[in-house]
Structure 1
Amino acid sequence: MTKTRLYIARHGKTMFNTIGRAQGWSDTPLTAEGERGIHELGIGLHKASIPFKYAASSDSGRTMQTMEIILEELGNPTIPYSRDKRIREWCFGSLDGGYDGDLFQGVLPRTAAFNTGRSYDEVTYPELAASLVEVDTANWAEPWEILSKRIYDGFEAIAQSVEASGGGNAIVVSHGMTIGTFMWLIDRKQEKKAIANGSVTVVTYENGKFFIETIGDMSYRLRGREFLEKNEKEN
């Protein structure tokens, strides 16, 4: 059986990403810059000649828009494609759509997890989830037990589907904090790492376990950017 591998991309840059708002379960479309970045990614993946047999994304508009561009550049629009709400971004509850500065520098530092003077990077994902539940007046934010289970179960279901069909590569589009959380669930020693728009995180799935290969790789986008810029100069 061929090894099962997930290439997990973060969606392209959106309107909310650009103006610094917490997106969560709210949604905004990719900007022109964001679309170009994903065209770069798709071209880079195509140039790498990776044989994708399956595609999956969250059910958020920004990930579906990203996947549409990737599949267009891969020249494989008929690849089997599913959408799974389990690999959505974190829900920020009543703070969803608010400015990042208000959330991460204003509200969250007043919660119990931050009382020790630790920074955002030093607070664990379970503690961060507890902080969101603590400040969410709408009671929409997910407790860590629910949040972590739905993220892991979502990616595992995708991997198991690919494995059941003989293994191979899947292109998956998800969200920054969701991808970071998934990496931490695979390896609790992982520190929080920036997952840039259009970056690729690769994991393999064998014997019921995930193994991390790369996190936040920008090389595919850079390769695609070089190709686009060369074409533009020549034309």
Structure 2
Amino acid sequence: MIVHVHLVRHGQTFFNRYNRLQGWSNSPLTQAGLDDAIHAGNALKDITFAAAYCSDTTRAQVTAQTILDINAANGHDVPVIHADMHFREQFYGYFEGQDMGAAWLAAGGPHGAPTYHAIVEQFGLGATRDFLKEADPFHDAESDEEYWRRVDGAFALIAANADLRDGDDVLMISHGNTLLSLMQRFAPAGYDLSERPANGSVTMIDFDTVKSLDDAIEVISYNRR
């Protein structure tokens, strides 16, 4: 059974604006972020959503509600939003809220990769998580394995929704690094993943709810704004 999942990156937050790491932190949307959510809502206003999911952070919930309010204003019945921690961005632990440049220097510097892009180029995206956990004095930041175990759980929640039918459209509010991680894991060649997904952008995937996750996702489009 295939459902069409519309992945929207939440609107801009103050931490986005200040270039600070924001995983489980709960920075509110800026006015530009509210406009991002409205833009996404207008882009999706003609779609009838059978279900809606987001993380339990304010930025994700406000973005989801804004999109569904626009949907309702255009005559669609809208679902109740399922907010759950499985849909959160990766957890940066000790480095939550810190300047991105300083945090990635602390994580990658000991490995000869002083920036986020240097870590990705030399060691892969998964290493950004493992190196950050290693540098975290409390080791609270999520490792790559811990991160994917939680994100896989998010898709398991969608697959377990007995009300979904083949061909249904599903709204899912996501986060920047999670979108990049999903693209790296599932996208075929041809996508420019050096381009971060914009706030309010829409990425679309087809999700086969009865297959194992590694075989269940097909990327349809990325970072439409």
Q: Look up the match of 1:52.
A: 49
Moved more, 137-146 or 75-84: 75-84
Q: Look up the match of 2:107.
A: 108
- The 2-side partners of 1:78 and 1:50 are apart by 10
Q: Contact 2:201/2:224 (CA < 8 Å) preserved in 1?
A: yes
Q: Contact 1:39/1:69 (CA < 8 Å) preserved in 2?
A: yes
Aligned length: 211
Report which of the two has the higher share of helix.
1
What's the secondary structure of 2:44's corresponding residue?
Answer: helix
Q: Look up the match of 2:199.
A: 197
Q: Look up the match of 1:143.
A: 143
Moved more, 185-194 or 51-60: 185-194
Residues 17/37 of structure 1: CA separation in 2 closer, same or farther (3 Å cut): same
Moved more, 78-87 or 25-34: 78-87
Superimposed CA distance per residue, residues 42-101 of structure 1 (whole angstroms, 9 cap, x where no aligned partner): 01211xx22211111011111011111111111157413211211211111111100112
Residues 136/128 of structure 1: CA separation in 2 closer, same or farther (3 Å cut): same
Aligned residue identity for 1:13: Q
Q: Give the drift of 1:131.
A: 0.6
- The 1-side partners of 2:99 and 2:60 are apart by 21
Matches within 5 A, 1:91-106: 91-104=91-104, 106=105
- The 1-side partners of 2:195 and 2:160 are apart by 28
Aligned residue identity for 1:51: T
Q: Give the drift of 1:18.
A: 0.8
- The 2-side partners of 1:133 and 1:102 are apart by 15
Q: Look up the match of 2:19.
A: 20
Q: Give the drift of 1:201.
A: 0.9
Q: Look up the match of 2:154.
A: 154
Superimposed CA distance per residue, residues 192-214 of structure 1 (whole angstroms, 9 cap, x where no aligned partner): 54111001111102251111111
Q: Look up the match of 1:211.
A: 218
Q: Give the drift of 1:169.
A: 0.4
Residues 210/162 of structure 1: CA separation in 2 closer, same or farther (3 Å cut): farther
Q: Give the drift of 1:188.
A: 7.9
- The 2-side partners of 1:134 and 1:108 are apart by 7
Q: Give the drift of 1:153.
A: 2.5
Unaligned ranges ≥5, structure 2: none
- The 2-side partners of 1:212 and 1:124 are apart by 20
Q: Aligned-residue CA RMSD in angstroms?
A: 2.2
Q: Contact 1:25/1:89 (CA < 8 Å) preserved in 2?
A: yes
What's the secondary structure of 1:13's corresponding residue?
Answer: coil
Unaligned ranges ≥5, structure 1: 219-235
Bigger Rg, structure 1 or 2: 1
Q: Look up the match of 2:176.
A: 176
The TM-score, its normalising length taken from structure 1, stands at 0.81
Q: Which of 67, 71, 89 pairs up with 1:70?
A: 67
Q: Give the drift of 1:7.
A: 0.2
Q: Give the drift of 1:149.
A: 1.8
Q: Contact 2:48/2:78 (CA < 8 Å) preserved in 1?
A: no
Moved more, 188-197 or 144-153: 188-197
Superimposed CA distance per residue, residues 91-119 of structure 1 (whole angstroms, 9 cap, x where no aligned partner): 11111100112123x3233133738xx71
Q: Give the drift of 1:120.
A: 4.1
